[in-house]
Amino acid sequence: AQLGSGPGWMGPEQPELVGGSPVHNRALELDDLSVPFQPKPYCYSLVLLPSWMGYLDNITAIGPRTVGSPENEVLTVNYLLQQIKAIETESTDAHKIFVDIQRPTGSFSIDFLGGFTSYYANITNVVVKLEPRGGAEHAVLSNCHFDSVPNTPGASDDAVSCSVMLEILYTLSKSSEPLQHAVIFLFNGAEENILQASHGFITQHEWAKSIRAFINLEAAGVGGKELVFQTGPENPWLVQAYVFAAKHPFASVVAQEIFQSGIIPADTDFRIYRDFGNVPGIDLAFIENGYIYHTKYDTSDRILTDSIQRAGDNILAMLKYLATSDMLAKSFEYRHGNVVFFDVLGLFVLAYPARVGTIMNYIIAAIAFLYLGKKVLQPKNRAINNLKKFFTAFGLILLSWISTLVTVLIVAVFISLVGRSLSWYSHFYVSVFLYGTAAVVKLILVHSLAKKFYYKNMNDQYLGDVFFDASLMIWSILLAMITHIGLCSAFICTLWVAFPLLTKLMIHEEFRQKGATMKFVVMYMLGMFVPYLYMMYLNWTVFEMFTPIMGRSGSEIPPDVVLAGFIVASTMILSSYFINFIYLVKSTKTTLITLTAVFLVTLILVCSGIFFPYSSDAANPKPKRVFLQHMNRRFHDLDGNLVKSDSGIWINGFDYNGISHITPHVPEINDTIRTPCEEWAPFCGLPWILPVHFMFRKNWYLPASEIFPASPIHFEVLTKELTPWNSVRLSFEVSGPSHMSLYIRPHEGSALSTWSLGDGTPVASVGGDYFVFYSHGLQATPWHFWIELTASENHSDGVVSLAIAAHYFFGEDQKSPQLYALQERFPNWTFSSGWSCTYDLFVF
């Protein structure tokens, strides 16, 4: 389909489709929609790739789909309606299809990014319900979002998921076999605005009451396998459904516990359905190639057809399974306990209740402790000597790990201080040669020195045996501790206790033989094969996810220190049962010299700058992310007088390197123009689009000419009143662009007690100021809100400072000529996202 032409195109000239009465907030059968459409000229099948590839190409061809823009609110919505209509014409009599265009308005608070409050008005959801001809009481929800972040085509995040959902809708609707339950397809139009559309749906839509489970489709990368990284809460039957139905499983409870710990600065609609809808579900996301996630390179041609086919197979199978399951109707009866789950090399998934895992873990740990106790304490006349040697080995292992961690982190800090952070960003092998070799050298060196000077008269076979047992003890203690904490990821420790223990029991005689014979090595490696293979597989997944994140983790976290820590942890885990070989082999001198040489050569090359962090390779770009905001700022005093104003381009580099690599290309952007913090103003007097100020303390401000938006912000105080309970209530009216940020700082002696936002309880951000994120779709009415403060009698300097920022993400106001010109000078290995904004501060 050629967008923007042809008789089936529904563009802005039909505004009634996206905001008028025909489909505004009511459910219709698609036959009721008197809109033109043009069926796609190819077959609809998950097996025939051109179908969903056509959806994906057409959605991304619309361009960036920022909330409030015509591209998001009109063009994409109409395209989705067109395709849904075409699907309905080919559906069988076994099902009915209903569609609803929902435009909710609402507000909620969330503890994401340090905590803030969100307000949305007239945003868009396209909701489709497929149900049996006789109707259905219960439903399963499939969720994607068609909006994108500004200045990006958003193919992987999340147009591809919407394309897959369209194809699944077609496939299910063509089936002559009726479903037992309804399937609701939510094409949500405001996820990138921090989960607003899903909140509007689950809290306000009439169909939400029937939902018993959901599948959320997301992306943290571009293609690859889609990882199940969140399930539940509780409801182990959902994991069992995935185990039974998924044709290409890729799931890990480790990913779930990492994500829910908050280490990764991201969140998904899963949180909204869980927290505000009390609905259990499954969260899936593409994780490969996160380097181009949320950049201009996130285009449809970069997503492999195999990735989309695999995702389609899995999601279709899951939805069919849930929509025909008796458990869906009684889902609350199966809500008991968490579940341990992990896939085995993508072949199948192992899943079992967490309570079973807890019992199993304690039993395995107890067996290991009994074995070690018997080994060390017998014979009784040598028990004290055995204990001394055992705990010496135990202490030496811990000492070697700690000294390795300290040494490698010192190297990472040195690399950061000399300005060579992220040298491995485009060349991951550099991190292995630099930090991996340093870790291995340090481990081997500590134990080689111990063997030479402390154990110089000790039998090698005895030492190998003792150090194996000491490693087993460490893993057994970790297993008991992590199980006690309640983490399902304790199953990893189970692998590192059970298999080594079995190996030791099977070849205990060989441990006593002199030298490491070939038979011993082969049997030892076979016994360790399972935990080592799984750990390597898990390491690949972790590094696949975390390495690209280091390029967008802010200016405060040294990425080399983080990655070095990961590599040291991996080295310690993988070497834990090979430390004993240091005591079995005759010499480690050759190994130490070789690895030290590799480390030193890599260190010299990194310090010389030969490994440039970023890449503009057309096939595999790894860009540096930079945000530029051309802004006007106006600061007013208590009497409303303008006390300060300025204009400039505010620059934020998204990684630890800041703008050091950009300065040679754009000399005026340098450390002499670091942004000063206006300490007396909320959020330093800067127009943050989200409260991420604690992640980006280093930024730059290049003076520039004033901008004059065609649609300036309108801010008005409606009322000021003293309440009977001696509080001050201020009411406001705001109108402006689709994205605005409100910042509130109560003065000393004052406190923000309540407001008209969220649930009425103000939520402070990091630092104590209050942040409100506002967005609207098309044709939103002015935003009205009030705040209430308690204040002491003496408040001559006012009780509160309040600032409002307007962000222009699309249209004629988005970029000034000066901003365009500056972006053009940026090197091709950068992704610079720019927009215009204004910041106005008032005191009341």
Q: Which residues are catalytically annotated?
A: 191
Sequential DSSP letters for 65-96: --TTSHIIIIIIHHHHHHHHHHHHHT--TTEE
- What 8-state DSSP symbol labels residue 541? H
Instruction: Give the H/E segment covering residue 580.
Output: helix 579-584
Could you give the CA distance from residue 628 to residue 649 in angstroms, rounded to a whole number? 6
Planar angle of CA 170, 175, 177, nearest 5 degrees: 145
Kindly report the backbone phi and psi dihedral angles of residue 764, in degrees, each rounded to the nearest multiple of 5, phi listed first.
Answer: -80, 150
Residue 815 CB-half CA count within 13 A:
15
**CB-based contacts of 208: which residues, under 8 Å, 6+ apart?**
201, 202, 277
Beta-sheet pairing, 182-188 with 211-219: unpaired
Quick count: other Cβ atoms within 10 Å of Cβ 344?
Answer: 13
Residue 799 contacts residue 593 (beta carbons within 8 Å): no
Radius of gyration over every alpha carbon of the chain, rounded to an integer in angstroms: 30
Quick count: other Cβ atoms within 10 Å of Cβ 698?
Answer: 16
> CA torsion, points 313, 316, 320, 325, in degrees to nearest 10?
80
**Of residues 224, 68, 216, the one with CA closest to residue 148:** 68
Residue 186 contacts residue 119 (beta carbons within 8 Å): no
Query: Strand, helix or coil at 830?
Result: strand
Beta-sheet pairing, 700-703 with 642-653: antiparallel
Sequential DSSP letters for 90-142: T--TTEEEEEEEE---EEEEE-GGG-EEEEEES--EEEEEEEETT--S-EEEE
Sequential DSSP letters for 222-290: SSSPEEEEEEESS-HHHHHHHHHH-SS--BBHHHHHHHHTT-SS---HHHHHHHHH---EEEEEE-S-G
C-alpha dist (Å) from residue 139 to 166, 673, 780, 840: 17, 56, 31, 47
> CA torsion, points 799, 801, 802, 808, in degrees to nearest 10?
180
Could you give the CA distance from residue 203 to residue 675 in angstroms, rounded to a whole number? 41
Quick count: other Cβ atoms within 10 Å of Cβ 418?
Answer: 11
**Of residues 52, 190, 173, the one with CA closest to residue 121:** 190
**Any alpha helices (H) in 456-512, and if so which ranges?**
460-485, 491-506, 508-512
Could you give the CA distance from residue 456 to residue 554 in angstroms, rounded to a whole number? 50
- Taken in order 268, 271, 272, 277, the sign of the CA dihedral is positive
Query: Strand, helix or coil at 468?
Result: helix
Cross-strand bridge partners of residue 95: 132
> CA torsion, points 562, 563, 564, 566, in degrees to nearest 10?
90
Cross-strand bridge partners of residue 715: 734
Left, alpha or beta for 63 (phi > 0: left; psi -120 to 50: alpha)? left
Tokens of 757: 């936002």
Tokens of 413: 């800090």
- Taken in order 460, 466, 469, 475, the sign of the CA dihedral is negative
> CA torsion, points 646, 649, 650, 651, in degrees to nearest 10?
-160
